[in-house]
Amino acid sequence: MTHPMPTQIDIVSHAGTTRETVARVLAQMVEAGIVERRSKTVYIRDKERLDALADVVSPDNEEELSR
């Protein structure tokens, strides 16, 4: 659980992406059941899948992703 949930602008500044991308990816994670949003709180429902996503997009894998 994360409360209060960081704003999309906060996430953008840390991730170096756009607000639209943050909104889209968060919506995809909600739809996939990885996280749940309620009010100003985000609940992690599937930590293993969230960890797997983080591993795929980590800077350590940047070269692999650009192929």
Q: Which domain holds residue 36?
A: 8-60
Separation between Cα atoms, residue 39 and residue 57, nearest integer Å? 27
**24 assigned to some structural domain:** yes
- Per residue in 28-46, pLDDT tens? 999 999 999 998 899 999 9
pTM: 0.74
The pLDDT tens digits for 44-65 are 999 999 999 888 876 665 444 4
Tokens of residue 44, six digits = 């992690």
In a domain, 30, yes or no: yes
Q: What is the pLDDT of residues 2-21, one digit of tens each?
A: 888 888 899 999 888 999 99
Residue type, 58: S
Collapse the DSSP code of 42 into the 3-class scheme (helix H, G, I; strand E, B; otherwise coil) and give the result: strand
Overall domain count for the chain: 1
Q: Are 22 and 35 in contact (CB under 8 A)?
A: no
Identify whether 67 is part of a domain. no
At residue 11, the 3 state secondary structure works out as helix
